[in-house]
Amino acid sequence: SKTIKKICCIGAGYVGGPTMSVVARQCPHIEITIVDMNAERIAAWNDENLENLPVYEPGLQEIVAEARGRNLFFSTDINKAIDEADMIFISVNTPTKNYGKGKGMAADLKYIELCARQIAAVAKDDKIVVEKSTLPVRTAAALKSILDNTGNGVNFHILSNPEFLAEGTAIQDLINPDRVLIGGENEEAIAALVNIYAHWVDHSRILTTNLWSSELSKLTANAFLAQRVSSINSISALCEKTGANVDEVSKAIGMDTRIGSKFLKASVGFGGSCFQKDILNLVYIARSYGLTEVAEYWDQVILMNDYQKQRFADNIIQTLYNTVSGKKIAFLGWAFKKDTNDTRESAAIYVADYLLNEQAEITVYDPKVSAERIYADLDYLNTRSPEENRALVKVVNTPYEACGNAHAIAVLTEWDEFKSYDWKKIKDEMKKPAFVFDGRKLLNRKQLEDLDFKYYAIGE
Ligand code: NAI
């Protein structure tokens, strides 16, 4: 099969950046250029100070330090990178459409189509085009049509190679994946991509399928993962009413090997850029084929997640004597999970929004998320003016500043460092009674109750 010497990856985001960094590390003989139309993002990837990389992931800085400038390059010259590459990964964003038909549900494929048209316009020799982005099933047919009809008569082979990394553990997931999935029609093109992964992934873990199975498997994997979270969260509500403890229930069911123990941790709800958007997309696809029951089945996973965030905020308000107006509430964590600086669809955003509607004053501390990002997340909701958001929400640099004089603390992200704070000092500096609402079941109930905190955790 064809040996790949040069790769271009379009999209230098949370997937393109880490994924291609790992390929560059594992395959020093392949030259990889990651391109993006966002010049600021490319500049950040090229920053000499590795603290300024646009994506925070444990282990990423070391890999970029090793490969950058050797066989890994970040550039805004998209045409040049396309022209020179044998294989082109498309790793651009595919957000939920916020306009027109399918608004709020369907995937917005305009970025994907732009990529296809640009590849077609530039390519002067045969290319393998790899869908790395998560796409609706049958997108490869649209890509193929655009490439073949607007191209220069060269051959394009399309592969689907969805990414299964989880943010926060991306580097580990990429180096040691459960499986790599490659869908395609052309044997030679499939073999070329298999050979790249085979440099570090055992052949038994490299699955090849037809295009449509591969595209659909990514949406299905995210739907199943999110479903587990919503399933255990639905039981957490019942635990709070009945005296059952959701951690105990989770352990008891998870030890059944047919169920398994992973992804059964109750929480304030799942976030991240993928679960909600991919399930909405699945629901939309099912509806468009007239499969109403299928659509409604998966829609419930999202409704349960919305309910969980609302429930968490309602419990804070009720417990604080039915009013949070003018009260200071400290948020520990804003990222959608630990070990990432990504905040897209973070539960914290929605919990904050509910509490701000009740005129709470919120002070946020997150170890990796900037104040600009937090304000941008709130402004994006359009619930209130940017000025109001800045008046009601303060972002601080230490947890002690966040918690001083607060009526309550809400734990929104499971950052490890939260466990080792000086909780006695925090308690002493808070308003009494000192309430903690643990949306991640992270802290130690006994330790906090011994310090006289009023401690509430999901599902207990
Ligand atoms: P992202 O938003 O972090 O990065 C996408 C990048 O593509 C942006 O920097 C944007 O400027 C760039 N871009 C968009 N259109 C472009 C164009 N025409 N030319 C050049 N650059 C362009 O998105 P992220 O999180 O990396 O996701 C990318 C895809 O991977 C999505 O389809 C997502 O569903 C999927 N995915 C994401 C995972 C995650 O954990 N974030 C995991 C697995 C898949």
DSSP-derived letter for residue 96 is: B
Pure H helices in 136-210:
139-150, 170-175, 187-197
The answer to whether the CB of 134 is under 6 A from ligand 1 is: yes
ipTM confidence: 0.99
Residue 419 is assigned to a ligand binding site: no
Q: Which domains does the chain have, with CATH numbers?
A: 6-209 (3.40.50.720), 210-460 (3.40.50.720)
Give me ligand 1 centre to Cα 292, in Å: 30
- Alpha helices by DSSP H, listed for 159-274, are 170-175, 187-197, 211-242, 246-254
The pTM score is: 0.96
Q: Whose CA is nearest to atom 2 of ligand 1?
A: 93
Q: Which DSSP helix (H) or strand (E) runs through 309? A: helix 292-319
Please tell me the distance from the alpha carbon of residue 226 to that of residue 219, in angstroms, as a whole number: 11
Pocket test for ligand 1, best of 20, 21, 37, 92 (most atoms within 8 A of CB): 92
**Cβ of residue 273 lying under 6 Å from some atom of ligand 1:** yes
**Amino acid 2: pLDDT:** 79
Q: Whose CA is nearest to atom 25 of ligand 1?
A: 14
Q: Is 133 in the pocket of ligand 1 (CB under 6 A)?
A: yes
267 assigned ligand-binding residue: yes
What is the rounded distance in angstroms from the CA atom of residue 34 to the CA atom of residue 324? 47
* Centre of ligand 1 from the C-alpha of residue 91, in Å: 5
* Helix 292-319 × helix 211-242 angle, to 10°: 40
Euclidean distance between CA atoms 225 and 447, whole angstroms: 32
Within a 10 A sphere around the Cβ of 143, how many other Cβ atoms? Answer: 24
In the block, residue with structure tokens 């590849």: 119
**pLDDT for 446:** 98
Distance from the alpha carbon of residue 39 to the mean position of ligand 1, in angstroms: 15
| Shortest-distance Cα residue to atom 21 of ligand 1 | 36
* pLDDT at 14 > cutoff 90: yes
Q: pLDDT at position 213, please?
A: 98
Q: What is the pLDDT of residues 125-152, one digit of tens each?
A: 999 999 999 999 999 999 999 999 999 9
72 pLDDT above the threshold of 70? yes
Distance (Å, rounded) from C-alpha 289 to C-alpha 74? 41
Q: What is the mean pLDDT of residues 341-362?
A: 98
Ligand 1 within 6 A of 112 CB? Answer: no
Q: Best mutation site among 60, 90, 91 for ligand 1, i.e. most ligand atoms within 8 A of its Cβ?
A: 91
How many angstroms is it from 19 CA to the middle of ligand 1?
A: 11
- CB crowding 378-393: b at 16 or more within 10 Å, else e: beeeeeeeeeebeebb
pLDDT digits (tens, 9 = 90+) for 364-377: 999 999 999 999 99
Q: What whole-number distance in Å separates Cα of residue 60 and Cα of residue 375?
A: 26
Per-residue confidence (pLDDT) for residue 163, from 0 to 100: 98
- Rounded to whole angstroms, the Cα distance separating 365 from 378 reads 15
Q: Using a pLDDT cut of 70, give the percent of the chain over it.
A: 100
Q: Which atom of ligand 1 is nearest to the CA of 162?
A: 44
Encoded tokens for 412: 């929104």
Closest CA to 73 of 151, 140, 16, 123: 16
* Confidence class for position 316, pLDDT limits 50, 70, 90: very high
Other CB atoms within 10 Å distance of the CB of residue 258: 5
Is the pLDDT at 1 greater than 90? The verdict is: no
For ligand 1, is residue 76 a contact (CB within 6 Å)? no
Is 133 annotated in a binding site? The answer is yes
Does 124 belong to an annotated binding site? no
- Evaluate if residue 410 carries a pLDDT over 70: yes
Q: What is the whole-number distance in angstroms between the Cα of residue 414 and the centre of ligand 1?
A: 25
Rounded to an integer, the average pLDDT of 148-165 is 96
Q: Is the CB of 131 under 6 A from ligand 1?
A: no
Model confidence at 208: pLDDT above 90: yes
Answer whether residue 93 shows pLDDT above 90. Answer: yes
The annotation status of 311 as a binding-site residue, yes or no, is: no
274 CA: nearest ligand 1 atom: 34
From 261, 270, 317, 444, select the one nearest 460 (Cα to Cα): 444
Separation of 214 CA from ligand 1 center, angstroms? 18
Q: CA-based Rg of the chain, rounded to a whole angstrom?
A: 23
Between the CA of 68 and the centroid of ligand 1 the distance, in Å, is: 20
Over residues 257-263, mean pLDDT: 97
Mean pLDDT of 444-458: 98
pLDDT above 90 covers a percentage of the chain that reads 100
| Of 19, 20, 93, 343, best ligand 1 pocket probe by most atoms within 8 Å of the beta carbon | 93
Binning pLDDT at 50, 70 and 90, where does residue 343 land? Answer: very high
Active site residue 239: no
Mean of pLDDT values over 203-228: 98
Q: Which of 8, 239, 274, 403 is catalytic?
A: 274
Distance, CA of 160 to CA of 136 (rounded, Å): 11
15 lines ligand 1 (CB under 6 A): yes
Nearest residue (CA) to ligand 1, atom 27: 93
Residue 219, marked binder: yes
| Inter-residue contact 33 to 85 (CB < 8 Å) | yes
